[in-house]
Structures are given as C-alpha cells and as structure tokens.
C-alpha cells in the first residue's frame, strides 16, 4: 500500500484560500469508539471517540515529509507573485521536533471529514464487524452500508466510494450480486 511508488498517501490541495490543506490519506494509526453512556440521544455523547492520531510512527513521518513539501511549494518562485504567508505554525517553527510538536498540538484534523472503519469489513478474527456482503457478524438480518465498513481510508474522497458501496448493497439486498 505505501511501498508502491504510484500509491498516494498524502494529499496536498490548493484552493486559493488562506492556505493549502495537507492530508495524510492512508493513516496506519488506529483509534477506538466506545459506548460511553446509556442515553440514546446522539448529542448527549453516547459514543466516545479516540482517533489514535499519529499513534503509528510512520504516519507522523509521512505527515512531516508532506508538511515540508508544502513549505517548499509555497516558497517556490512560481507562487511568489501571490505572496503566500505561512500562518500556522509560522516560519519561526523550523526543526522537525518543533514541527511535530505543533502538528500534534493544533494542526491535526484526525479524520479530515473522512472517518471510516468503526465497523470494518474484514474477517471477524481480525476485528471485522461485517462480512463482504455487509452483514453484521452474529446478527441476523442486519447490514451496515456507510463509511464505517471501509477498513482503510480510500485514496479518494469517501463520498464517491460510498456511492459504490451503496450500489453494491442494493444488489446484495435484492439478491442480484455476491
């Protein structure tokens, strides 16, 4: 997945906004989600999430390399006419250690609006929750059709991937596909 030279693991997007978005697209870190109360109302905090951001050391290495690439790109002569200014963490933060500290403190968006994997489709013995037909292990007549079934963040925005999952679910539920 990461060793493949053509596999994307880091996304750098420039929208013309105040700064570019940099995203680690294939995190190896794993978090947890637990039931934290008995009130079923979602706003009252029924679930407790720990994203486990950067708990796998390779993730921080990739993020640091990506951040450095972003700095080089923003400092390139072709962007000079736009007069880009690094707001966070700012050019005063230079050493790898300082950058990592700031990334951990306030530059991290754990899911970048792409949360997946809380009910991963993989063998139950490996921690999976649903089988390849989206059926929940040990529960009769229940399927899960959302981003939680993806064991890894796809190297694409999750919306298109989940449209494909939903289309496949329709076929499975109708009994047309395996």
Coil, helix or strand for 47? strand
Mean pLDDT, rounded, for 52-74: 88
For the question of residue 114 being annotated catalytic, the response is yes
From the list 176, 151, 171, the residue with the least C-alpha distance to 161 is 151
Determine which one of 34, 41, 56, 114 is catalytic: 114
Maximum separation of any 2 CA atoms in the chain, in Å = 62
Query: Which pTM was predicted?
Result: 0.73
Distance CA 72, CA 79 (A): 10
Residue 140 banded pLDDT, cuts 50, 70, 90: very high
Residue 96 banded pLDDT, cuts 50, 70, 90: very high
pLDDT at 21: 67
Q: Which two tokens stand for residue 43?
A: 């706003």
Distance CA 123, CA 172 (A): 18
- Give Rg (Cα) of the chain: 20
Residue 17 banded pLDDT, cuts 50, 70, 90: low
Distance CA 35, CA 20 (A): 35
């Amino acid at each position: 997945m990461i060793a493949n030279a053509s596999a994307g693991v880091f996304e750098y997007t420039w929208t013309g906004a105040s700064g570019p978005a940099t995203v680690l697209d294939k995190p190896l870190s794993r978090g947890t989600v637990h039931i934290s109360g008995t009130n079923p109302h979602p706003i009252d905090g029924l679930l407790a999430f720990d994203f486990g951001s950067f708990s796998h050391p390779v993730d921080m290495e990739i993020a640091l390399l990506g951040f450095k690439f972003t700095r080089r790109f923003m400092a390139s002569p072709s962007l000079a006419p736009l007069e880009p200014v690094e707001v966070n963490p700012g050019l005063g933060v230079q050493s790898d250690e300082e950058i990592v500290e700031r990334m951990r403190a306030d530059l991290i968006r754990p899911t970048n609006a792409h949360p997946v994997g809380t009910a991963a489709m993989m063998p139950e013995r490996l921690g999976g929750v649903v089988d390849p037909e989206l059926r929940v292990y040990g529960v009769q007549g229940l399927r899960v059709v959302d981003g939680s079934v993806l064991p890894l963040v796809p190297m694409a925005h999750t919306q298109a991937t989940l449209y494909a999952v939903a289309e496949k679910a329709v076929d499975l539920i109708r009994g047309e596909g395996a």
